[in-house]
Amino acid sequence: MAAEDNFVVAIEIGSSKVTAIAGRKQPDDALLVLACVQEPSSDFVSRGRINNIKKMKACLSGIKENLEKKLKKSIGQAYVGIGGMGMYSVKNTVPKTFTARTEVSRDVIDEIEQDNARSMSDEHTILGTIIQEYRLGAQVTHEPVGMIADRVEGRFLNVVTRNFVCENIKNCMNDAELGIAGLPIATLALADRMVPASERHSGCVFVDMGAETTSVAIFKNNLLRHFAVLPLGGRNITRDITSLSVEEAEAERMKVNFGTAFSENDEEVRNPIVTDSGRHINYDEFINLVEARQEEIICNVHNQIKLSGYKRSELVGGIILTGGAANMRNIVKAFRRVTDFETVRVVKSVDTTIRPASSLPQGFNKDGSCNMAIALLEQGKENCCAGSLSSGNDMFDRKKKEEEAEKERLVREAGQNVKGPQEPPEAVEKERVERERAEKKEKRRRFFGKIKNFMTNLVSDNEANEGNDVRD
């Protein structure tokens, strides 16, 4: 297969935009990015969930068409990152007891894992299962097959969401004529490209601060130990600022230009903020709104750390922040103050060597807006190319196919062997038309012949009657 016919497509459904990216791995493990399309999504995605199916379908159809034009190839499927409000992790324990000490077989472990997969209610879907450990008495292992025990206990961490979240994605993709190659958990894919294995082993908290959600993933010994998506993000701060009687677009600019997560000097006198209309807004009133909401978000993150059961001393890697809302001034200081974690840092790029195609704009992903899509692309293995684009538009193609099907039917009616040698369809069509003309001509000849015979007989009868006329 030619290289241009082999690429992966990944789609990130975010609360502010939908990002689709196509690319392929290079021999040196670099990522060649072939094309990228972004569309605003605030009208139909809320807190990471699709809330307007019709608009989402239209968006995906437009993205598919746009990508195909850039690639000059048809797209058959794509990986779609799944996230959004309501996703969380659930711990589950599945025990298996034997009547005597027994060698643990692969079938026994498969049965335990299947029991775990059936543990969720009908309203929820398990998106991913992370095996935490197997306990065989006092022994703890990740490879229990072959060990001797009278009881095996499997401990799992299931990442779940409501069924309709997956169903909505599948319906929208199907309507856009796109198959689903996979539904990776978006935040975990991003953590895989941003958090070094050493920090995941020593223990860390990965926080992705988005527009309307904040995702928290806690790792220890290279395993996910806790996960939750909070329905709070940067847009909540923007909406708070609109309470100062400014439009949302201007509130967003004010947040970016003047916002800070932590005021370093409360005694400093600050000049008022001048709006586009020339109105003056008290800076302290503005900053109090920003800091209050940021503190609420950070407190919720801190609460998730507590719920995980891990202490600060066990999470040596500290807190790693990413996402658009993590770009606010003094965000690190705010996290240190609220959580009491000393090690806090912001990561703005994925750990991937990216080679943008020449068709992409200069400085591609400089702002990190494609980080999630790139991370999803890295996880893709299946080819998403469906071949070359057709030469004409859909209506023309359908008409052409219908004409070809009609010609094949005429060939069969003419008694030709479709699989063997045959006359061209044009010749068969010409023969059919000439045959129909000949049949019509013969019908007309017979019809007028009957009329002629009738008139001849009628005249003959009249003449006979006149010759036999008897007068009284």
Residues 106/37, Cβ–Cβ less than 8 Å: no
- Residues in the chain, total: 472
Residues 367, 216: Cα–Cα separation, whole Å:
22
Task: Residue 203: give the domain boundaries.
Answer: 196-346
23 is a domain residue: yes
Are residue 34 and residue 171 in the same domain, yes or no? yes
133 is a domain residue: no
Are residue 339 and residue 442 in the same domain, yes or no? no
Strands 354-356 and 31-40: parallel
> Which segment of 280-289, 293-302, 364-373, 398-407 scores lowest on mean pLDDT?
398-407
pLDDT at 435: 75
Are residue 340 and residue 365 in the same domain, yes or no? no
135 is a domain residue: no
331 is a domain residue: yes
Contact residues for 198 (Cβ-Cβ < 8 A; gap 6+): 317
Is pLDDT larger for residue 213 or for residue 466? 213
Are residue 224 and residue 273 in the same domain, yes or no? yes
171 is a domain residue: yes
For the domain that residue 284 is a member of, what is the CATH number? 3.30.420.40
Are residue 216 and residue 284 in the same domain, yes or no? yes
**Position 454 confidence tier, pLDDT thresholds 50, 70, 90:** low
* 54 class by beta-carbon count within 10 Å (0-12 exposed, 13-18 middle, 19+ buried): exposed
**Per-residue pLDDT averaged across 158-162, rounded?**
96
Domain count across the chain: 3
396 is a domain residue: no
Are residue 205 and residue 269 in the same domain, yes or no? yes
Are residue 267 and residue 340 in the same domain, yes or no? yes
Are residue 328 and residue 417 in the same domain, yes or no? no
Are residue 20 and residue 67 in the same domain, yes or no? yes
- Judged against a pLDDT cut of 80, whether residue 323 lies above it is answered with yes
52 is a domain residue: yes
Residue with tokens 């299931």: 158
User: What is the pLDDT of the chain when averaged over all its residues?
Assistant: 88
Residues 297, 361: Cα–Cα separation, whole Å:
34
Q: Is the dihedral of CA 319, 322, 325, 326 positive or negative?
A: positive
Are residue 229 and residue 309 in the same domain, yes or no? yes
Are residue 458 and residue 311 in the same domain, yes or no? no
**Position 120 confidence tier, pLDDT thresholds 50, 70, 90:** confident
Look up the pTM and report it.
0.80
Give the rounded percent of residues in the chain with a pLDDT score beyond 90: 75
pLDDT 10s digits, 209-259: 999 999 999 999 999 999 999 999 999 999 999 999 999 999 999 999 999
From the CB of residue 142, how many other CB atoms can be counted at a distance below 10 Å?
9
Are residue 29 and residue 177 in the same domain, yes or no? yes
373 is a domain residue: yes
